[in-house]
Amino acid sequence: MSDATTTVRPPMPAPGSAGHLLQLLRDSDACTRPQLVELSGISRSAVSQRIEALLAAGLVVQDGAGASTGGRPAVRLRFHHENGLVLVADLGATHAQLAVTDLAGTVLAEQAENWAVADGPEPVLDAVRACFDALLTRIGRSRDEVRGIGIGLPGPVEHGSGRAVSPPIMPGWDGFPVPRHFADFDVPVLVDNDVNIMALGEYWTAWRAQVDDLLFIKVGTGIGCGVIASGRVHRGAQGAAGDIGHVRVPDADHALCRCGNTGCVEAVAGGQAIADRLRALGRDAHDARDVVALVKAGDREATRAVREAGRELGRVLAAAVNFFNPAVIVIGGDLANAHEQLLAGVREVVYRRSLPLATRHLRVVPAQEGERAGITGASAMVLAEVLAPSAVDRLVNGVT
Amino acid sequence: MSDATTTVRPPMPAPGSAGHLLQLLRDSDACTRPQLVELSGISRSAVSQRIEALLAAGLVVQDGAGASTGGRPAVRLRFHHENGLVLVADLGATHAQLAVTDLAGTVLAEQAENWAVADGPEPVLDAVRACFDALLTRIGRSRDEVRGIGIGLPGPVEHGSGRAVSPPIMPGWDGFPVPRHFADFDVPVLVDNDVNIMALGEYWTAWRAQVDDLLFIKVGTGIGCGVIASGRVHRGAQGAAGDIGHVRVPDADHALCRCGNTGCVEAVAGGQAIADRLRALGRDAHDARDVVALVKAGDREATRAVREAGRELGRVLAAAVNFFNPAVIVIGGDLANAHEQLLAGVREVVYRRSLPLATRHLRVVPAQEGERAGITGASAMVLAEVLAPSAVDRLVNGVT
């Protein structure tokens, strides 16, 4: 090569556009301009110019004086997360969580509803829209401030188009274009399945600063998995990634699954399957919540059943650990409220059956976000899109 | 929000930096400036300015006249892939492939060697270095033109540091910092395990234009898997992702695996395991290549054994398909030279056991790159790093 100055060396810092500076500010409490120069590796004048653009766009705000370094005190800058809203709805089979968050994902108002998703898309989404307006009114804010909408659905979703795809428990929703129903808001509308947004919610709240690869397992009526790869939801070629509920486990050919096959892990270790077995033993158990109540009341059969379910789940997860090598497995869903027994079973098998290198630092932990994981994750999904460096650069270039 | 102009809308085009323009040129044969304006969505003057910088850095070259659009003919621009070299080595247990490629990944010179990786890092890497110099001499090029070095090793690698991690068949390599051995080249040195670079090689050559998520399965002595997620190698928390050879399969507790456990898929479906079984039946089979020779000669037991190995592999892959939802599964490695039987077994089980949504468009295909997959992938690994938009932006800002 004729010009020695063109040699390239890694690792390269981020290019330091306005969007990247905003990213740095979002990840810290507040920063001075000199700190941003140091963090970004770009020049003082470039930082100043880009911060001016971010201030003009209302994405950054000056927040009093920073620590003095001998001369005049440096002005502290922070992400102006109050300057915009996100509307989110986490729709389950028979209940829904709705919320308004700010641009940091903080919940400003929320509402729980007992809607049946089986009523079909039009009535359910009309109710969502009315609830969004009511929530905005409750906190005295307006539709003009909304930057994006995030919706979670209890079934497979084609994320790119926001359509449900052959959802088994959602009659009438197949192919329905959810974003179009909110077109009058004139903001991005992002849709994903409930397990993916719960995974993102747990990741965003508790883990993103520490790890890149995480599995979130939802054990409720059925069993599903949300896959976070390199900090982002991995959806796969048809958006079907994480569908571990129908992986076969050995010696379970007797168990008929709602999917039509036999021997699926969900058919032996899902909340419904356990409730059915306990009912056959004379217990008053109809769903995962009843199972948890029996465990908490000290019922031995229920305790044994949940522990064994953990082991079955562990067999499937051991293979997933060898294949994917996550840093953390988070166990959530209704059955996870009996998490001591469930996690003990999972850990027992995963640590025995996975490879030493893959389990050396692996943590298997209960979910922390509870009911809020869905709305937190839906908000994070929207923010990742509307505050992506490329989106911010485009916005800022349009404004200045 | 007070300023309505700050509303953000997806999908956002790339921000259109010099690095992004180079990406567009790398993905096309050649482009005129007006075409780049259209493709990038940025202004004519910004495109011109950034192209000047890329021309000055030697990353873009003008290549004659483009199609006339009525006025004077537009000048065609293309990626100057001749202006730099990549050195790559794919080290196996007992053989090595080495090559020099240009910045498009085209092999300019290559060499095969029968080196034993068990000889230890110093002698093997000294031999690699000498071979690199010999290859450069052969094509009349110099070390000054080298932009990066890529090395594949037959064991787990900590990609960030380029160290082998507890590699079972590589005595003396544990923790050895491979990049330091090439420090005098003064270029990025990237190291990964052989299956990951083969996966990237197959993906880069045959699939990157069509799909994002791909699994590459290497069936040789053992069984390994390279995972491509969203177009990039997924390595996992400890770099152990894709280690499917030691997933347990049902009814195989009799099979002792070299890892110390029993019932691993590799212990029943790996090339060594099949050769051992066939030898017990009186066949002259010592490794995967012997097995393939027997299949090609029409030996019924060998044919039956490979077909059954495909089914066992299919059981493991069915779970991986449900979990990961790849668009393509590529089967490579020595045993894949008997691919009709092997793929038939894999397909039979994967299509029966995976979910319909995940297999609707799934393709299970034989590898196309053969022996070259490793060096092609090692080159692609280096190019992805040294030609990443952020790396190019930094380079160009340094030059102009």
* Interface pTM, i.e. ipTM: 0.86
Task: Determine, yes or no, domain membership for B196.
Answer: no
Domain check: are A101 and A66 in the same one?
A: no
Same domain for A74 and A93, yes or no, is no
Please report residues of A whose CB lies closer than 8 A to that of B226.
none
**B46 is a domain residue:** yes
Residue at A195 is within a domain: no
- Residue B253's pLDDT band (cuts 50, 70, 90): confident
Yes or no, beta carbons of B385 and A10 under 8 Å apart = yes
How many angstroms separate the CA atoms of B73 and B32, rounded? 10
Query: Residue B4: is its pLDDT beyond 60?
Result: no
CA distances from B386 to B55, B352, B356 (A): 17, 43, 40
Q: Residue B329 has what DSSP assignment?
A: E
pLDDT for B395: 84
**Nearest CA-CA distance, residue B21 and chain A, Å:** 14
pLDDT of res. A11 = 30
B3 vs A57: CB contact, 8 Å cut-off?
Answer: yes
Please measure the distance between the N-terminal and C-terminal CA atoms of chain B and give it in whole angstroms.
39
Number of domains within chain B: 3
The DSSP secondary structure of B169-230, one letter per residue, reads T-TT-BT-BGGGGGGGG-S-EEEEEHHHHHHHHHIIIIITTT-S-EEEEEESSSEEEEEEET
Q: Does some domain include residue A247?
A: yes
Separation in Å, CA of A189 to nearest CA in chain B? 9
Residues A346, A246 share a domain: yes
Average pLDDT of chain B to the nearest whole number = 88
**B256 and B293 assigned to the same domain:** yes
Q: Closest residue of A to B238, CA-based?
A: A358
Contact B165 A393 (CB under 8 A): no
N residues, chain B? 400
> Do residue A361 and residue A344 come from a single domain?
yes
Who among A3, A353, A390 is closest to B15 (CB)?
A390
CA distance B276 to chain A (A): 24
B312 near A CB under 8 A: no
Mark whether B113 and B73 lie in a shared domain: no
Do A117 and A220 fall within a single domain? no
Residue B192 counted as domain residue = no
Q: How many angstroms away from the CA of B67 is the closest CA of chain A?
A: 30
Whether B45 has its CB under 8 Å from any CB of chain A: the answer is: no
CATH number at residue A15: 1.10.10.10
Are B70 and B89 part of one and the same domain?
no
CB contact under 8 A, B390 and A12: yes
Q: Does A175 touch chain B (CB under 8 A)?
A: no
C-alpha distance across the termini of chain A, in Å: 40
pLDDT for B73: 67
Cβ density class B73-86: b for 16+ within 10 Å, e for less: ebebbbbbbebbbb
- Return the pLDDT at B262: 87
Q: Do A6 and B322 touch (CB under 8 A)?
A: no
Is B195 part of any domain?
no
Residue B146, domain CATH? 3.30.420.40
Give the Cα-Cα-Cα angle B55, B56, B59 (nearest 5 degrees).
50
Determine the residue of chain B that is closest to A4 in CA distance.
Answer: B144
Q: What local confidence, expressed as pLDDT, does residue B192 receive?
A: 95
Query: Taking CB atoms and an 8 Å limit, are A238 and B361 in contact across chains?
Result: yes
Q: Find the length of chain A.
A: 400
Q: What residues of B are in contact with residue A165 (Cβ under 8 Å)?
A: 357
* pLDDT score for B69: 56
Chain B, window 355-394: residues with a beta carbon less than 8 angstroms from a chain A beta carbon:
355, 357-358, 360-362, 385-394
Residue B155: count other Cβ atoms within 10 Å of its Cβ. 19
> What pLDDT is stored for residue B72 in this prediction?
63
pLDDT at B382 > cutoff 60:
yes
If you average pLDDT over residues B205-231, what whole number do you get? 94
Which of the pair, B135 or B397, is modelled with greater confidence? B135
Per-10-residue mean pLDDT, chain A, length 400:
32 60 84 85 85 93 66 82 97 93 96 94 97 98 97 89 83 93 96 95 93 95 93 92 89 84 90 94 93 94 94 94 95 86 92 84 91 94 92 73
Which one of A79, A95, A121 terminates a domain?
A79
Examine the domain organization and report whether B248 and B383 are in the same domain.
no
| Nearest Cα residue in chain B from A356 | B240
Q: Does A327 touch chain B (CB under 8 A)?
A: yes
Question: Does B74 lie in the same domain as B128?
Answer: no
What is the reported pLDDT for A89? 98
Q: Give a yes or no: residue A246 inside a domain.
A: yes
The answer to whether residue B301 neighbours chain A at the CB level (below 8 Å) is no
* Judgement on whether residues A63 and A157 belong to the same structural domain of the protein: no
Q: Is residue A26 part of a domain?
A: yes
Q: A residues 65-124 near B, CB within 8 Å?
A: 83-84
At which of B27, B48, B79 does a domain end? B79
Give me the residue from A13, A240, A394 closest to B15, CB to CB: A394
pLDDT digits (tens, 9 = 90+) for B329-338: 999 988 888 8
Quote the minimal CA–CA distance from A319 to chain B in Å: 6
pLDDT for residue A13: 32
Q: Does B184 touch chain A (CB under 8 A)?
A: no
Query: Measured between CB atoms, which of B83, B188, B212 is closest to A1?
Result: B83
Rounded Cα gap, residues A400 and B17, in angstroms: 18
Higher pLDDT, A45 or B67: A45
* CA distance to partner chain A, nearest, from residue B148 (Å): 8
CB B140 within 8 A of CB B216: no
Are B237 and A9 within 8 A, CB to CB? no
Are residues A91 and A171 located together in one domain of the fold? Answer: yes
Distance (Å) of CA B55 to CA B52, B63, B173, B276, B389: 5, 12, 42, 59, 15
Q: Which of B79, B113, B138 is the last residue of a domain?
A: B79
Judging contacts by C-beta atoms under 8 Å, the chain B residues touching residue A260 are none
B123 pLDDT above the threshold of 50? yes
CB count within 10 Å of CB A29 equals 9
Q: Considering Cα of B199, then B204, then B210, then B212, what sign does the dihedral take?
A: positive
Which residue range(s) make up the domain with A136?
Answer: 85-187+374-399
Chain-chain contact of B5 with A59 (C-beta, under 8 angstroms) = no
Q: Which of B50, B249, B322 to mutate to test the interface with A (most CBs of A within 10 A)?
A: B322
